[in-house]
Amino acid sequence: MEKKILFVASECSPFVKTGGLADVIGSLPQALKNQETDIRVILPLYEDIITNYFDNMEQVATIQVSVGWRKQEAVIYHYTHDDIPYYFIGNDYYFARKGIYGYYDDGERFVFFCRAVVDALSVLDFQPDVLHGHDWQAGLALSFAKILQPIDELKTVFTIHNIKYQGILPIDTFDELFSIPREHIPGIEWNGLLNCMKSGLFHADKITTVSPTYAEEIQTPYYGEGLYSLLKERQSDLSGILNGIDVEQFNPTKDPYIPKNYSDCREDKSENKQLLQEKLGLPIDGEIPLYVLISRLVDQKGLHLLQAILDEFLQHDVQVVVLGTGDYEFENYFYHAQQRNKQKFVAYLAFDEGIARHLYAASDFLLMPSLFEPCGLSQLIALQYKSVPIVRETGGLKDTITPYNELTSEGNGFSFTNYNAHDLLHVLTYSLRIYHDQEHWKKLHDNLNKCDFSWKTSAQSYQALYDSLLASVHDA
Ligand code: GLC
């Protein structure tokens, strides 16, 4: 039996990206698509997408969408990319702006988007069996679908990529923005506010998140960001499915961004390292261990730990490079750290995909001491490029990285448990010792070569979830 799945999301590579969500929405459909699965994706039509893709899009419908007492037009476009059909919701007032988020009316923009997605279902030539929303921006699509029932027996799945961001609006915007009866407020309200993520969780038949450990963590007050009690109640409908990565795209044997392609060769990696050192003005020496951090510079990423011990760690014969942009506090700190440690530390405060790939290829270690990490993609990319991840044992980091054990020679990285700066320093110093021990370093690399984090297994788990939901429809 054919399954029809519609992903609802706010970002998707290659069209628009601010974080890991875009990578997942851009690559999971490829892994899910098969003879029995017709998977499509619906997104807002942002200005950057208009600039880069509009000429090849086909207009399929125009609808009038209710936003409170007003009507807003949504023009729906269709575009096929790499055999996946995409739909885009166009409305210049809400989406023809620079970037994706960060506007005062983000809440209203995604109320509109979600309502437009559900209203579009009755005009599209595609009637999904499962509406699968990702993160808060898509939460209300599930709610509108359940409330307005545009399709009989439509099933809903909601995936949490990061529970920290929930899309919260003042309660009095209900009458202004939502054109549904007030009896539905309890399904959307949380702690006296309208909460788009809560509404997705409430109206979803099944809830997933992006790693088994995070699925457990978010049921606790420490990680649950105020929603843990709701998740605990829905425990039997909640599961964690680990993200994969597109192993064709992240492939050091043919990555066009890196100067020297390689499979598993220390000399080739070292050549990439020396070219990087030259580019960044660091002393050129292929033997010096190179640690990199490639990340948005925000609290979540555990940067306070690194701040506390960076100068101390730089006393060793090492080089450290940080790549990324984010909060002023961190950019400022790393900028000054570079002034103090010119021969050893570089802060590259921009996001540049080419440099990022070069860093994965050149580095010996990737740092990810996250405070929390739903799944994390950088550690998976690092494994592909044979850079050893050093992580805190949380969320997907815990599920993908096993600490190296000298006694058994098992493990594909280094890790520590508590959110504590000197635990990080301790594990960094330990990683240095293993780096200089040829026998252990080789065994660790042999383990890296055996890792497989392609989408295959995860795609099977999603298929099984859809099948179980649809079986309940057909049995009924
Ligand atoms: C979010 C999470 C990250 C996860 C990604 C994709 O960005 O912070 O851990 O890998 O979503 O699911």
Q: What pLDDT is stored for residue 1 in this prediction? A: 64
The identity of residue 365, as a single letter, is F
Interval between CA 62 and ligand 1 midpoint (Å): 33
Taking the CA atoms of residue 442, residue 447, residue 448 and residue 451 in that order, the dihedral angle to the nearest 10 degrees is 170
pTM listed for this prediction: 0.95
User: First CA to last CA across the chain, in angstroms?
Assistant: 16
Question: Which of 13, 23, 161, 400 has the most ligand 1 atoms within 8 A of CB, as the residue to mutate?
Answer: 161
Q: What pLDDT is stored for residue 266 in this prediction? A: 80
Query: Ligand 1, closest atom to CA 243?
Result: 12
Residue 299's Cβ-count burial label (10 Å; 0-12, 13-18, 19+) is: middle
Interval between CA 180 and ligand 1 midpoint (Å): 32
Q: Are strands 193-195 and 189-190 parallel, antiparallel or unpaired?
A: antiparallel
User: Where in the sequence of the chain do the CATH 3.40.50.2000 domains occur?
Assistant: 3-244+456-475, 266-449
**Count of other CB atoms within 10 angstroms of residue 204:** 25
Q: How far apart are CA 134 and CA 151, in angstroms?
A: 20
Q: How far apart are CA 331 and CA 322, in angstroms?
A: 10
Interval between CA 18 and ligand 1 midpoint (Å): 11
User: Which residues form ligand 1's pocket by a CB distance below 6 Å?
Assistant: 19-21, 24, 161-162, 210, 243, 373-377, 396
Task: Residue 316: name the closest of 349, 284, 291 by CA.
Answer: 291
> Do 42 and 120 meet the contact criterion of CB atoms below 8 Å apart?
yes
Question: Which of 213, 225, 373, 375 has the most ligand 1 atoms within 8 A of CB, as the residue to mutate?
Answer: 375
Residue of minimum CA distance from atom 3 in ligand 1: 376
- Cis geometry, peptide bond prior to residue 289 (ω within 30 degrees of 0): no
Kindly give the parts of the chain with pLDDT less than 50. Answer: none
Interval between CA 163 and ligand 1 midpoint (Å): 10
Q: What pLDDT is stored for residue 439 in this prediction? A: 97
Q: What is the 3-state secondary structure (H, E, C) of the chain?
A: CCEEEEEECCCECCCECCCHHHHHHHHHHHHHCECCEEEEEEEECCHHHHHHHHHHCEEEEEEEEEECCEEEEEEEEEEEECCEEEEEEECHHHHCCCCCCCCCCHHHHHHHHHHHHHHHCCCCCCCCCEEEEECHHHHHHHHHHHHHCCCCCCEEEEEECCCCCCCEECCCHHHHHCCCCHHHHHHHEECCEEEHHHHHHHHCCEEEECCHHHHHHCCCCCCCCCCHHHHHHCHHHEEECCCCCCCCCCCCCCCCCCCCCCCCCHHHHHHHHHHHHHHHCCCCCCCCCEEEEECCECHHHCHHHHHHHHHHHCCCCCEEEEECCECHHHHHHHHHHHHHCCCCEEEECCCCHHHHHHHHHHCCEEEECCCCCCCCCHHHHHHHCCCEEEEECCHHHHHHCCECECCCCECCEEEECCCCHHHHHHHHHHHHHHHCCHHHHHHHHHHHHCCCCCCHHHHHHHHHHHHHHHHHHHHC
Q: What pLDDT is stored for residue 369 in this prediction? A: 98
Give tens-digit pLDDT for 264-323: 778 889 999 999 999 999 999 999 999 999 999 999 999 999 999 999 999 999 999 999
Q: What pLDDT is stored for residue 264 in this prediction? A: 76
Tokens of 447: 């383990």
> Do 135 and 197 meet the contact criterion of CB atoms below 8 Å apart?
yes
Beta bridge partners of 415: 391
Interval between CA 214 and ligand 1 midpoint (Å): 11
CATH topology classification for 3-244+456-475: Rossmann fold (3.40.50)
> Do 424 and 394 meet the contact criterion of CB atoms below 8 Å apart?
no
Tokens of 362: 């050149």
Query: Ligand 1, closest atom to CA 21?
Result: 6
Residue of minimum CA distance from atom 10 in ligand 1: 376
Give tens-digit pLDDT for 229-258: 999 999 999 999 999 999 999 999 999 999
Beta bridge partners of 291: 320, 365
Q: What pLDDT is stored for residue 267 in this prediction? A: 85
Interval between CA 304 and ligand 1 midpoint (Å): 20
Interval between CA 385 and ligand 1 midpoint (Å): 20
Query: Ligand 1, closest atom to CA 373?
Result: 9
Give tens-digit pLDDT for 194-227: 999 999 999 999 999 999 999 999 999 999 999 9
Give tens-digit pLDDT for 154-166: 999 999 999 999 9
Report whether CATH 3.30.470.20 matches the domain 266-449.
no
